[in-house]
């Protein structure tokens, strides 16, 4: 289970990122200046953790929580679903209505859903934070198009440490001779949906682009992955 404290720190870093802050001050017309956030995929593990994280920090409020149409918990209070006190935000499937009153969207869902949300966020001119993994090159092209109309922040892993590791892997790969091979072995809990994970892909891309020879062959990264799944 993701640690709420870590997610609260993530939300804080995003809210205080200079481009994000300048956009919000320019576009937010409501007087309180608290950023109104929508959590999509609100009944998932990450969605529930994000709801708790938003409640813990200042500078933002939960204005909507989105779940798929027909979900059995539609209408229930998002705070209660997340294991806390009620926050006065009922779970809904109406993303269009929710986006119309929001400033930003937190999206840790699935590729198909993320692309649909990206289109809505672009139409509304919202900040769209994407932690969805399993995105293809074609998906990324569509997100790049959406980013022309909205602020889009996307990463295969939102951890500060993992992003630092990505840079270190790139530097290490640049220092190795061309005959070296880099192998990534990842281990997951039994509920992991996509493999290779977004983190493994990030590190693999960093290794593939690390050295001068590798940089000229960006697609040379092997897609043969060892994935160990354990039950817990």
Q: What is the pLDDT of residues 98-109, one digit of tens each?
A: 999 999 999 999
**Per-residue pLDDT tens digits for 75-96:** 999 999 999 999 999 999 999 9
Amino acid 70: pLDDT: 94
Q: Which of 63-72, 152-161, 166-175 has the highest mean pLDDT?
A: 63-72
Please provide the average confidence, as pLDDT, over all residues in the chain.
81
Average pLDDT over residues 24-49: 79
Strand partners, 40: 66, 107
The pTM (predicted TM-score) of the whole model is 0.75
Q: Is the pLDDT of residue 21 over 60?
A: no
Query: How far is residue 80's CA from residue 61's CA, in Å, rounded to a whole number?
Result: 16
- Of the pLDDT bands very low, low, confident and very high (cuts 50, 70, 90), residue 220 is very low
Amino acid 186: pLDDT: 82
Q: Is the pLDDT of residue 213 over 60?
A: no
Query: How far is residue 56's CA from residue 58's CA, in Å, rounded to a whole number?
Result: 7
Average pLDDT over residues 164-182: 86
Query: What positions carry a catalytic annotation?
Result: 188, 192
Worst-scoring range by mean pLDDT, 95-99, 162-166, 204-208, 217-221? Answer: 217-221
Q: Is the pLDDT of residue 47 over 90?
A: yes
Amino acid 26: pLDDT: 52
DSSP string, the chain: ---HHHHHHHHHHHHHSHHHHHHHHHH--STT--EEEEEESTTSHHHHHHHHHHHHSSSEEEEEEE--TT-TTTTSBHHHHTTS---S-BEES-HHHHHHT-SEEEE-S-HHHHHHHHHHHHHHT-EEEE------HHHHHHHHHHTTSSEEEE-S---HHHHHHHHHHHHHHHHS-TT-----EEEEETT--SSS-HHHHHHHHHHHTSSHHHHT-TT-S----EEEEE--
| 175: nearest Cα among 211, 139, 206 | 211
Is the Cβ–Cβ distance between 46 and 131 less than 8 Å?
yes
Residue tagged 């409501």 (tokens): 30
Amino acid 5: pLDDT: 46
Both tokens of 111, joined, read 């590729």
């Amino acid at each position: 289970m993701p640690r709420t404290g870590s997610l609260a720190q993530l939300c804080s870093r995003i809210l205080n990122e200079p481009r994000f802050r300048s956009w919000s001050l320019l576009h937010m017309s409501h007087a309180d200046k608290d950023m109104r956030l929508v959590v999509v995929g609100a009944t998932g593990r990450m969605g529930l953790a994000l709801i708790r994280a938003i409640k813990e920090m200042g500078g933002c409020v939960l204005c909507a929580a989105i779940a798929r149409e027909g979900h059995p918990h539609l209408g229930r209070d998002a705070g209660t679903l997340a294991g806390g006190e009620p926050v006065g935000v009922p779970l809904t499937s109406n993303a269009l209505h929710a986006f119309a009153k929001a400033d930003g969207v937190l999206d840790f869902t699935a590729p198909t859903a993320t692309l649909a949300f990206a289109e809505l966020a672009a139409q509304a001119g919202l900040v769209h934070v994407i932690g969805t993994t399993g995105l293809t090159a074609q998906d990324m092209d569509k997100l790049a198009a959406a980013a022309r109309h909205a602020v889009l922040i996307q990463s295969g892993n939102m951890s500060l440490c993992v992003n630092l590791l990505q840079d270190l892997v790139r530097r290490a790969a640049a220092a190795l001779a061309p005959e070296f091979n880099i192998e990534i072995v990842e281990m997951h809990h039994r509920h992991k949906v996509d493999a290779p994970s977004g983190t493994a892909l990030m590190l693999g891309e960093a290794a593939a682009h690390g050295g001068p020879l590798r940089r000229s062959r960006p697609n040379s990264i092997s897609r043969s992955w060892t994935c160990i799944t354990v039950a817990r």
